[in-house]
Amino acid sequence: MSGSIHVQPIAGALGAELSGVDLSEPLSDAQFSEIHHAFLTHQVIFFRDQSALTPDKQKAFAQRFGTLNVHPYVSGMPGHPELLEIIKEPHDKLNFGGGWHSDMSFQETPALGSVLYALEVPPYGGDTLFASQAAAYEALSDGMKTLLEGLNAIHSARREYSARGASAQDRQSMSAKTAEDAPEFEHPVVRTHPDTGRKGLYVNPAFTLRFSGMTRQESRPLLSFLFEHSRDERFTCRFRWTEHAVAFWDNRCCWHYALNDYPGYRRHMRRATINGDRPV
Protein backbone atom coordinates (compact mmCIF):
# COMPACT_ATOMS: atom_id res chain seq x y z
CA MET A 1 0.00 0.00 0.00
CA SER A 2 1.29 3.45 -0.83
CA GLY A 3 1.42 6.14 1.84
CA SER A 4 3.19 6.86 5.09
CA ILE A 5 2.22 3.63 6.84
CA HIS A 6 4.27 0.51 6.14
CA VAL A 7 2.37 -2.79 6.14
CA GLN A 8 4.31 -6.01 6.66
CA PRO A 9 2.33 -9.28 6.52
CA ILE A 10 3.35 -11.81 9.18
CA ALA A 11 1.60 -14.95 7.87
CA GLY A 12 -0.09 -16.19 4.73
CA ALA A 13 -3.64 -16.51 6.03
CA LEU A 14 -3.93 -13.31 8.07
CA GLY A 15 -2.02 -10.77 10.13
CA ALA A 16 0.16 -7.76 9.36
CA GLU A 17 2.32 -5.41 11.38
CA LEU A 18 1.94 -1.69 10.66
CA SER A 19 4.54 0.99 11.35
CA GLY A 20 4.79 4.71 10.72
CA VAL A 21 1.80 5.89 12.73
CA ASP A 22 1.24 7.10 16.30
CA LEU A 23 -2.20 5.92 17.41
CA SER A 24 -2.25 8.45 20.26
CA GLU A 25 -2.51 11.28 17.73
CA PRO A 26 -5.68 12.04 15.74
CA LEU A 27 -5.61 10.12 12.46
CA SER A 28 -5.75 12.02 9.21
CA ASP A 29 -8.29 10.78 6.68
CA ALA A 30 -5.44 9.30 4.66
CA GLN A 31 -4.04 7.44 7.67
CA PHE A 32 -7.47 6.14 8.62
CA SER A 33 -8.00 4.91 5.05
CA GLU A 34 -4.67 3.07 5.04
CA ILE A 35 -5.31 1.45 8.42
CA HIS A 36 -8.85 0.49 7.49
CA HIS A 37 -7.67 -1.05 4.22
CA ALA A 38 -5.00 -3.07 6.04
CA PHE A 39 -7.55 -4.17 8.64
CA LEU A 40 -9.96 -5.47 6.00
CA THR A 41 -7.20 -7.08 3.96
CA HIS A 42 -5.29 -8.81 6.80
CA GLN A 43 -8.11 -9.32 9.34
CA VAL A 44 -5.80 -8.55 12.28
CA ILE A 45 -3.19 -5.78 12.39
CA PHE A 46 -0.49 -4.96 14.93
CA PHE A 47 1.31 -1.81 16.03
CA ARG A 48 4.39 -1.59 18.27
CA ASP A 49 5.76 1.12 20.58
CA GLN A 50 2.50 2.98 21.21
CA SER A 51 3.65 4.29 24.60
CA ALA A 52 1.35 7.35 24.69
CA LEU A 53 -1.93 5.47 24.22
CA THR A 54 -3.91 6.66 27.25
CA PRO A 55 -7.42 5.30 27.90
CA ASP A 56 -9.01 8.33 26.23
CA LYS A 57 -6.72 8.04 23.22
CA GLN A 58 -7.32 4.32 22.87
CA LYS A 59 -11.05 5.00 22.85
CA ALA A 60 -10.62 7.81 20.32
CA PHE A 61 -8.76 5.48 17.95
CA ALA A 62 -11.35 2.71 18.32
CA GLN A 63 -14.22 5.15 17.84
CA ARG A 64 -12.98 5.99 14.35
CA PHE A 65 -14.35 2.55 13.41
CA GLY A 66 -17.64 2.63 15.32
CA THR A 67 -19.33 2.97 18.68
CA LEU A 68 -17.84 1.18 21.69
CA ASN A 69 -19.27 -1.83 23.49
CA VAL A 70 -19.86 -2.02 27.23
CA HIS A 71 -19.41 -5.64 28.28
CA PRO A 72 -22.56 -7.04 29.93
CA TYR A 73 -20.74 -9.44 32.29
CA VAL A 74 -17.27 -8.00 32.97
CA SER A 75 -16.77 -4.73 34.83
CA GLY A 76 -15.11 -1.96 32.86
CA MET A 77 -12.25 0.29 33.90
CA PRO A 78 -13.22 2.92 36.51
CA GLY A 79 -14.25 6.04 34.62
CA HIS A 80 -14.09 4.19 31.30
CA PRO A 81 -16.85 1.54 31.20
CA GLU A 82 -16.06 0.84 27.52
CA LEU A 83 -12.56 -0.39 28.41
CA LEU A 84 -11.78 -3.77 29.95
CA GLU A 85 -8.61 -4.19 31.95
CA ILE A 86 -7.65 -7.79 31.28
CA ILE A 87 -5.22 -8.72 34.03
CA LYS A 88 -3.69 -12.02 35.07
CA GLU A 89 -1.84 -11.76 38.36
CA PRO A 90 1.13 -14.06 39.02
CA HIS A 91 -0.90 -16.42 41.23
CA ASP A 92 -4.04 -16.53 39.01
CA LYS A 93 -4.56 -19.99 37.51
CA LEU A 94 -6.86 -19.06 34.65
CA ASN A 95 -6.43 -16.24 32.17
CA PHE A 96 -9.22 -14.36 30.37
CA GLY A 97 -9.75 -15.39 26.76
CA GLY A 98 -7.81 -18.64 27.14
CA GLY A 99 -9.66 -20.54 24.41
CA TRP A 100 -10.60 -20.02 20.77
CA HIS A 101 -13.46 -17.55 20.42
CA SER A 102 -14.89 -14.51 18.66
CA ASP A 103 -15.63 -11.59 20.97
CA MET A 104 -19.27 -10.98 21.79
CA SER A 105 -20.77 -13.48 19.31
CA PHE A 106 -23.26 -14.15 22.14
CA GLN A 107 -24.93 -10.80 21.47
CA GLU A 108 -27.67 -10.04 18.93
CA THR A 109 -25.31 -7.61 17.18
CA PRO A 110 -21.81 -9.01 17.80
CA ALA A 111 -18.62 -6.99 17.85
CA LEU A 112 -17.00 -5.57 14.73
CA GLY A 113 -13.51 -5.62 16.19
CA SER A 114 -11.37 -5.30 19.31
CA VAL A 115 -8.38 -3.06 20.06
CA LEU A 116 -6.08 -4.63 22.66
CA TYR A 117 -3.22 -2.66 24.22
CA ALA A 118 -0.36 -4.20 26.21
CA LEU A 119 0.54 -2.38 29.42
CA GLU A 120 2.59 -5.14 31.05
CA VAL A 121 3.74 -8.38 29.46
CA PRO A 122 5.56 -11.41 30.89
CA PRO A 123 9.19 -12.04 29.92
CA TYR A 124 8.07 -14.99 27.85
CA GLY A 125 4.76 -16.52 26.78
CA GLY A 126 1.40 -14.78 26.67
CA ASP A 127 1.24 -14.73 22.88
CA THR A 128 -2.13 -14.40 21.14
CA LEU A 129 -3.11 -16.74 18.31
CA PHE A 130 -5.48 -15.73 15.53
CA ALA A 131 -7.32 -17.90 13.00
CA SER A 132 -8.91 -16.72 9.75
CA GLN A 133 -12.45 -18.02 9.47
CA ALA A 134 -12.57 -16.81 5.87
CA ALA A 135 -9.62 -19.02 4.99
CA ALA A 136 -11.19 -21.89 6.95
CA TYR A 137 -14.41 -21.59 4.97
CA GLU A 138 -12.64 -21.36 1.64
CA ALA A 139 -10.71 -24.57 2.34
CA LEU A 140 -13.91 -26.62 2.75
CA SER A 141 -15.27 -28.87 0.03
CA ASP A 142 -18.07 -27.61 -2.18
CA GLY A 143 -20.40 -30.18 -0.63
CA MET A 144 -19.69 -28.96 2.90
CA LYS A 145 -20.11 -25.33 1.85
CA THR A 146 -23.53 -26.18 0.38
CA LEU A 147 -24.57 -27.95 3.59
CA LEU A 148 -23.47 -25.11 5.84
CA GLU A 149 -25.08 -22.33 3.76
CA GLY A 150 -28.49 -23.44 4.98
CA LEU A 151 -27.65 -23.62 8.68
CA ASN A 152 -27.96 -21.18 11.55
CA ALA A 153 -26.43 -21.65 15.00
CA ILE A 154 -27.36 -20.60 18.53
CA HIS A 155 -24.87 -18.44 20.43
CA SER A 156 -25.00 -17.59 24.13
CA ALA A 157 -22.76 -16.55 27.01
CA ARG A 158 -24.55 -19.05 29.25
CA ARG A 159 -21.85 -21.73 29.20
CA GLU A 160 -18.73 -19.55 29.30
CA TYR A 161 -20.20 -17.27 32.00
CA SER A 162 -21.81 -19.99 34.08
CA ALA A 163 -20.65 -20.58 37.64
CA ARG A 164 -18.15 -23.10 36.27
CA GLY A 165 -17.33 -21.19 33.09
CA ALA A 166 -13.78 -19.97 32.59
CA SER A 167 -14.73 -16.36 31.86
CA ALA A 168 -16.73 -15.90 35.07
CA GLN A 169 -14.09 -17.24 37.46
CA ASP A 170 -12.72 -15.00 40.21
CA ARG A 171 -9.51 -13.15 39.43
CA GLN A 172 -7.82 -10.75 41.80
CA SER A 173 -7.85 -7.79 39.40
CA MET A 174 -10.93 -8.51 37.25
CA SER A 175 -14.58 -8.59 38.24
CA ALA A 176 -17.05 -10.73 36.27
CA LYS A 177 -20.53 -11.98 37.03
CA THR A 178 -22.25 -15.21 36.11
CA ALA A 179 -24.94 -15.35 33.45
CA GLU A 180 -26.78 -18.61 33.95
CA ASP A 181 -29.83 -17.08 32.25
CA ALA A 182 -27.96 -15.37 29.39
CA PRO A 183 -30.11 -14.99 26.27
CA GLU A 184 -29.62 -16.99 23.09
CA PHE A 185 -29.23 -15.49 19.63
CA GLU A 186 -29.27 -17.11 16.21
CA HIS A 187 -26.57 -16.32 13.63
CA PRO A 188 -25.76 -17.85 10.23
CA VAL A 189 -23.06 -20.51 10.24
CA VAL A 190 -21.59 -18.92 7.11
CA ARG A 191 -21.32 -15.16 7.44
CA THR A 192 -20.78 -12.69 4.60
CA HIS A 193 -18.43 -9.90 5.61
CA PRO A 194 -20.33 -6.59 5.29
CA ASP A 195 -17.31 -4.66 3.94
CA THR A 196 -15.42 -7.19 1.81
CA GLY A 197 -18.18 -9.58 0.75
CA ARG A 198 -15.91 -12.50 1.67
CA LYS A 199 -17.64 -15.49 3.23
CA GLY A 200 -16.40 -17.07 6.45
CA LEU A 201 -17.43 -19.50 9.14
CA TYR A 202 -19.20 -17.92 12.11
CA VAL A 203 -19.24 -20.48 14.92
CA ASN A 204 -16.80 -20.74 17.82
CA PRO A 205 -16.17 -23.16 20.72
CA ALA A 206 -16.81 -20.64 23.50
CA PHE A 207 -20.22 -19.30 22.57
CA THR A 208 -21.83 -21.55 19.91
CA LEU A 209 -24.13 -24.05 21.64
CA ARG A 210 -25.87 -25.92 18.82
CA PHE A 211 -27.42 -25.60 15.38
CA SER A 212 -30.86 -24.04 15.13
CA GLY A 213 -33.58 -26.68 15.20
CA MET A 214 -31.21 -29.36 16.53
CA THR A 215 -30.23 -30.66 19.95
CA ARG A 216 -26.71 -30.27 21.31
CA GLN A 217 -26.15 -33.99 20.84
CA GLU A 218 -27.24 -33.84 17.21
CA SER A 219 -25.10 -30.75 16.62
CA ARG A 220 -21.95 -32.04 18.28
CA PRO A 221 -20.38 -34.07 15.41
CA LEU A 222 -20.51 -31.30 12.83
CA LEU A 223 -19.63 -28.54 15.29
CA SER A 224 -16.66 -30.57 16.51
CA PHE A 225 -15.44 -30.94 12.93
CA LEU A 226 -15.81 -27.22 12.27
CA PHE A 227 -14.02 -26.25 15.49
CA GLU A 228 -11.13 -28.59 14.69
CA HIS A 229 -10.94 -27.47 11.07
CA SER A 230 -11.15 -23.77 11.88
CA ARG A 231 -8.01 -23.73 14.03
CA ASP A 232 -5.85 -25.62 11.55
CA GLU A 233 -2.33 -24.16 11.50
CA ARG A 234 -2.77 -23.13 7.84
CA PHE A 235 -5.32 -20.52 8.86
CA THR A 236 -3.43 -18.99 11.81
CA CYS A 237 -0.88 -16.41 12.85
CA ARG A 238 0.77 -15.75 16.20
CA PHE A 239 1.66 -12.43 17.81
CA ARG A 240 4.48 -12.03 20.31
CA TRP A 241 3.50 -9.16 22.57
CA THR A 242 5.85 -6.40 23.60
CA GLU A 243 5.09 -3.58 26.02
CA HIS A 244 2.88 -0.89 24.43
CA ALA A 245 2.00 -3.03 21.42
CA VAL A 246 -1.53 -2.96 19.97
CA ALA A 247 -3.54 -5.64 18.20
CA PHE A 248 -6.70 -4.74 16.29
CA TRP A 249 -8.67 -7.72 15.01
CA ASP A 250 -11.86 -8.25 13.03
CA ASN A 251 -14.27 -10.37 15.08
CA ARG A 252 -16.46 -10.86 12.02
CA CYS A 253 -13.92 -13.09 10.32
CA CYS A 254 -11.33 -14.36 12.79
CA TRP A 255 -10.95 -16.17 16.08
CA HIS A 256 -8.33 -15.50 18.73
CA TYR A 257 -6.81 -17.35 21.68
CA ALA A 258 -4.75 -15.85 24.53
CA LEU A 259 -2.14 -18.39 25.60
CA ASN A 260 -1.74 -19.05 29.32
CA ASP A 261 1.90 -20.19 29.42
CA TYR A 262 3.60 -17.72 31.78
CA PRO A 263 3.05 -18.99 35.35
CA GLY A 264 4.28 -16.68 38.06
CA TYR A 265 4.23 -13.54 35.91
CA ARG A 266 1.78 -10.68 35.47
CA ARG A 267 0.10 -9.70 32.20
CA HIS A 268 -1.98 -6.50 31.96
CA MET A 269 -3.90 -5.61 28.80
CA ARG A 270 -6.59 -3.02 28.04
CA ARG A 271 -9.33 -3.73 25.51
CA ALA A 272 -11.78 -1.57 23.61
CA THR A 273 -14.43 -3.45 21.62
CA ILE A 274 -16.25 -1.87 18.69
CA ASN A 275 -19.92 -2.58 18.10
CA GLY A 276 -20.88 -4.27 14.85
CA ASP A 277 -24.02 -5.32 13.03
CA ARG A 278 -26.17 -8.41 12.90
CA PRO A 279 -24.50 -11.19 10.87
CA VAL A 280 -25.97 -12.13 7.48
Residue 215 CB neighbours (<10 A): 9
232 is catalytic: no
Q: In what order do the strands lie in the sheet with 236-239?
A: 236-239, 128-132, 254-258
Are 157 and 179 within 8 A, CB to CB?
yes
Query: Is 271 annotated in the active site?
Result: yes
Catalytic residue among 159, 191, 252, 256: 256
Residue 268 annotated among the catalytic residues of the structure: no
193 is catalytic: no
Nearest to 191 by CA among 236, 258, 255: 255
Q: From the CA atom positions of the chain, what is the Rg in Å?
A: 18
Q: Which of 42, 101, 191, 270 is catalytic?
A: 101
Catalytic residue from among 42, 103, 210, 231: 103
DSSP 55: H
CA distance 259 to 256: 10
Enumerate the active-site residues: 101, 103, 256, 271
